[in-house]
Amino acid sequence: MNYAEIVQVEEQSLFQMIDGGAVPTSPLQLKIVKLNVHSACKYNRKWHSRLPVIDWGNVVRNKHYICFGASFESTCYAVAIWSSPIAQNRFKNGEKILELRRMAISPEAPKNTASRMIKVMISMIKKEFPDIDRLISYQDTEVHRGTIYKASGWEIGGTSKGIKWNTEKRIRNNEQTLAEKIRWEKYL
């Protein structure tokens, strides 16, 4: 094989070599699996653009919760944390809804990782929680455009202004953001 043929084969390769190791170049190479809540919170803290803090206890206290990771060769490139909605009592049939609380993606992840991950997670959620009939997620309008939801066939369900969650009886931690949110919905 001559040099030109070798270059062409390398350009068509599914992997790119950096520092002697392979990294994924396509989201199809990522394996989407259930992940424990502690690992999901750790990676969220590392990669989330706006909301790095989520306490694992705040996830597991819900009726439904599940966390996912997207990995390649034992390296995690993205995580997602789902649970029953924070404000479940504000929804009709709130017990049949699952909220994407956080999704955080490494800067080294391949392009379109989020869209691929959402597609696979939806399939896994349908099997894990057959009673769930709707998914929701809130987009922070100051830092995101909603591209992953549009690309995945979600619809806008509403908007909300950022509010403090404190009450006279319960003082909460400081909010990580008070930006306006768009609620995206996906019916299963």
Name the residue with higher pLDDT: 22 or 2.
22
Per-residue pLDDT at 54? 84
Section 39-52 average pLDDT: 88
Q: Beta 134-140 vs 97-105: how paired, if at all?
A: parallel
pLDDT of residue 42 exceeding 60: yes
Mean residue pLDDT of the chain comes to 83
Superfamily, domain 21-187: Gcn5-related N-acetyltransferase (GNAT) (3.40.630.30)
What's the pTM value of the predicted model, to 2 decimals? 0.79
Section 134-157 average pLDDT: 90
Query: What tokens appear for 170 in the block?
Result: 């319960």
